[in-house]
């Protein structure tokens, strides 16, 4: 049953019964501003010891003037009788544990100031609804009444948004989001989404959030950078909480500094939220090390892709001689052949170990381990996007735990 979740303004309510089930309903009602009247043959729960309860048998005339009636007696015959009297007296009915005689169901609630979180299973399992409510309650930050008062004041003011959020979404799995990124995503009213952001993350956006896909892939841009900046500024000027969802970490080839400067020039702050870069996630997920004591004392992170899809091979120079570091290459998959050719051209040892890692942390994650001489073969055996790791430390991958598929070229 697909119920309609609504929040009612205060109503005049009649509660029939004063036992355990009635006490549960009364507690929730008394947390609201509803006008509650209680009638019962006898008090069966201590909760009602100090409450105003009319001790009397139910009579139809008791129904006059009430908008909501709750039968918490467990009396099936009374539920059926009330069900038949609904239209005559103009009330809606809830019969505890008798779904067939209910116009509505109570939700499992968590209240904090003006905030009320309600969970319902449409009468299927109140216990599961309560369990779900408790899980939600556990992750909600504590707020005092001043917080909600400030929200009411802000709502009364003309809307404005002075900050645009630049949110790093990591390697694509929601488990790789930082808590700060997750909280920011859940509060957005307009989201500009890059190409590498998958459904697993976009589903975390509020249903009401405007989703604008501005993905830019090599050689195929749906929007120019200037257009993306203008879209973000337009949404922020309209008062919407606006954010850019970016793959990896925005500090690595994420155009953060360009965008932040543009927004600042237009009078907006840019808040940067870091993420787990695929440069590091690839290593941890695949068991292909970047640093290794006695073998690799550090790492150089580069991109093989320049503006207008040009190849960047300047970094290959570092591989000459006794290079004691690891190079992590982003956007290298399409340039595998060019990397090998450039390395050969300048005299780099082509037996240096290398690995491509694709679909990081996904069900189809693959790591192909070989060497500089066989990068094209390796690229053909894994999907893209992929991270390329080059250096002597890669050879230790055979001895390390890993996730996903891993293949070592002979």
Q: What is the pLDDT of residue 123?
A: 75
Q: In tens digits, what is the pLDDT along the chain, a chain of 410 residues?
A: 688 888 889 999 999 999 999 999 999 999 899 999 999 999 999 999 999 999 999 999 999 999 999 999 999 999 999 999 999 999 999 999 898 999 998 888 888 878 888 998 887 888 899 899 999 988 888 777 788 787 777 666 655 578 999 999 988 788 889 999 999 999 999 999 998 898 999 999 999 999 999 986 544 557 888 999 999 999 999 999 999 999 999 988 888 899 999 999 999 999 999 999 988 999 988 999 999 999 999 999 999 988 777 899 999 999 998 889 999 999 999 999 999 999 999 999 999 999 999 988 888 889 999 999 999 999 999 988 899 999 999 999 888 777 778 899 98
Other CB atoms closer than 10 Å to residue 374's CB: what's the count?
Answer: 17
Percentage of the chain with pLDDT > 70? 96
State how far the Cα of 190 lies from the Cα of 187, in Å rounded to an integer. Answer: 9
The phi, psi pair for 120, rounded to 5°, reads -140, 145
Q: What is the pLDDT of residue 146?
A: 80
Q: What is the pLDDT of residue 160?
A: 55
Residue 232: enclosing H or E segment and its boundaries?
helix 225-237
Structure tokens at 132: 């779900």
State how far the Cα of 274 lies from the Cα of 72, in Å rounded to an integer. Answer: 52
Contact 28, 21 (CB under 8 A): no
- Whether the CA torsion 160, 223, 332, 286 is positive or negative: it is positive
State how far the Cα of 225 lies from the Cα of 189, in Å rounded to an integer. Answer: 21
Radius of gyration of the chain (CA): 31
Q: What is the pLDDT of residues 159-179, one digit of tens each?
A: 557 899 999 998 878 888 999
Structure tokens at 319: 């591989």
Largest CA distance in the chain: 100
Residues 6+ apart with CB under 8 A from 90: 67
Average pLDDT over the chain reads 90
Contact 369, 392 (CB under 8 A): no
Contact 325, 366 (CB under 8 A): no
Q: What is the pLDDT of residue 379?
A: 96
Q: What is the pLDDT of residues 198-227, one digit of tens each?
A: 899 999 999 999 999 998 654 455 788 899
Domains of the chain: 12-106 (3.40.50.720), 109-157 (no CATH), 164-273 (3.40.1010.10), 279-408 (3.30.950.10)
- Of 310, 373, 380, 389, nearest in space to 339 by CA: 373
Q: Which residues of 33-54 are buried (b: 16+ CB within 10 A; e: fewer)?
A: ebebbbbbeebbbebbeeeebe
CA angle 231, 235, 236 (to 5 degrees): 115
Ranges of beta strands (E only) in 234-391 are: 242-246, 269-273, 299-303, 326-330, 353-358, 366-371, 386-390
**Cα-to-chain-centroid distance, residue 12:** 39
| Secondary structure (DSSP) of 376-404 | HHHHHTS-SSEEEEESGGGGGGGGS---S
Residue 274: enclosing H or E segment and its boundaries?
none
DSSP 328: E
- pTM greater than 0.75: no
The number of CA neighbours under 13 Å toward the Cβ of 288 is 35
**Cα-to-chain-centroid distance, residue 214:** 19
State how far the Cα of 312 lies from the Cα of 306, in Å rounded to an integer. Answer: 6
Query: For residue 32, what are the CA distances in angstroms to 114, 116, 274, 299, 320?
Result: 10, 10, 41, 59, 74
- Please, what is the end-to-end C-alpha distance for the chain in angstroms? 59
């Amino acid at each position: 049953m697909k119920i309609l979740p609504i929040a009612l303004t205060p109503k005049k309510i009649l509660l029939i019964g004063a036992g355990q089930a009635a006490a549960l309903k009364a507690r929730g009602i008394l947390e609201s501003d509803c006008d509650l009247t209680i009638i019962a043959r006898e008090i069966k729960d201590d909760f009602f010891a100090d409450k105003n309860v009319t001790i009397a048998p139910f009579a139809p005339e008791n129904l006059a003037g009430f908008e909501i009636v709750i039968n918490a007696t467990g009396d099936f015959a009374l539920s059926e009788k009330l069900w038949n009297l609904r239209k005559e007296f103009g009330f809606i009915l809830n019969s505890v544990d008798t779904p067939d005689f209910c116009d509505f169901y109570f939700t499992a609630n968590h209240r904090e100031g003006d905030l009320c979180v309600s969970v319902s299973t449409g009468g299927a399992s109140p216990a599961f609804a309560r369990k779900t409510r408790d899980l939600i309650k556990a992750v909600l930050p504590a707020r005092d009444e001043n917080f909600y008062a400030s929200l009411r004041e802000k709502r009364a003011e003309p809307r404005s948004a002075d900050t645009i959020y630049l949110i790093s979404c990591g390697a694509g799995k929601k488990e790789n989001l930082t808590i700060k990124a997750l909280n920011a995503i859940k509060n957005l009213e307009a989201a500009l989404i890059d190409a590498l952001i998958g459904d697993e993350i976009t589903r975390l956006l509020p249903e009401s959030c405007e989703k604008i896909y501005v993905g830019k892939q090599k050689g195929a841009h749906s929007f120019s950078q200037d257009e993306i900046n203008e879209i973000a500024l337009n949404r922020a000027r309209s008062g919407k909480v606006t954010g850019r969802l970016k793959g990896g970490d925005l500090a690595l080839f994420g155009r953060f500094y360009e965008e932040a400067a543009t927004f600042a020039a237009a009078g907006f702050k840019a808040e940067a939220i870091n993420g787990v870069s695929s440069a590091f996630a690839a290593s941890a997920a695949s068991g292909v090390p970047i640093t290794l004591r006695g073998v690799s004392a550090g790492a150089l992170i580069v991109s093989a892709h320049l503006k207008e899809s040009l190849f960047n091979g300047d970094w290959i120079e570092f591989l000459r001689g006794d290079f004691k570091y690891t190079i992590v290459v982003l956007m290298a998959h399409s340039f595998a052949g060019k990397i090998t050719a450039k390395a050969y051209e300048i005299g780099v040892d082509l037996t240096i170990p290398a690995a491509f890692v694709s679909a990081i942390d996904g069900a189809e994650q693959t790591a192909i381990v070989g060497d500089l001489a066989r990068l094209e073969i390796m690229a053909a055996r894994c999907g893209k996007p992929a991270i390329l790791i080059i250096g002597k430390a890669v050879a230790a991958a055979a001895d390390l735990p890993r996730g996903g598929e891993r293949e070592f070229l002979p």
